[in-house]
């Protein structure tokens, strides 16, 4: 476990996650939708290329906490099967996301 998400804020670009150490990260719906970790989008469980996702703009309709370890997002295309663990989100934040 790297970090816990303390709170979630809705921002114009998508959502802002506030981490326990005081940092925050903005993610757009499109960014997260394209990195959906679910079995439909990643049929080979992390091996090989993820399934191409149509190049559209995706909004986040809702974000539901899953236990104390993950978030489930509902996207504007209705897709809601991705469970984004805090570990995964933190890795995205440190990598391609914009950590501030
Ligand atoms: Zn998915």
pTM of the model: 0.83
Cα 38 to middle of ligand 1, angstroms? 4
- By CB neighbour count within 10 A (0-12 exposed, 13-18 middle, 19+ buried), where does 5 fall? buried
Exposure b/e, 50-65, CB count within 10 A at least 16 = b: eeeeeeeebebeebee
pLDDT in tens, the chain (100 residues): 578 999 999 998 899 999 999 999 999 999 999 999 998 887 665 555 666 667 788 999 999 999 989 999 999 999 999 999 999 999 999 886 544 4
Cα 76 to middle of ligand 1, angstroms? 13
- Of 97, 90, 59, which is closest to residue 77 (Cα–Cα)? 59
Domains of the chain and any CATH numbers:
5-99 (3.30.2020.30)
Cα 41 to middle of ligand 1, angstroms? 4
Cα 34 to middle of ligand 1, angstroms? 8
C-alpha 66/C-alpha 75 separation (Å) is 16
């Amino acid at each position: 476990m790297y970090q816990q998400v303390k709170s979630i804020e809705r921002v114009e670009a998508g959502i802002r996650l506030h981490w326990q150490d005081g940092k925050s990260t903005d993610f757009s719906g499109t960014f997260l939708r394209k990195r959906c970790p679910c079995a439909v989008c990643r049929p080979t469980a992390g091996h090989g290329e993820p399934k191409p996702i149509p190049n559209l703009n995706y909004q986040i309709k809702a974000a539901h906490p899953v236990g104390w370890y993950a978030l489930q997002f509902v996207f504007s295309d209705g897709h809601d099967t991705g469970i984004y663990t805090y570990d995964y989100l933190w890795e995205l934040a440190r990598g391609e996301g914009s950590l501030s």
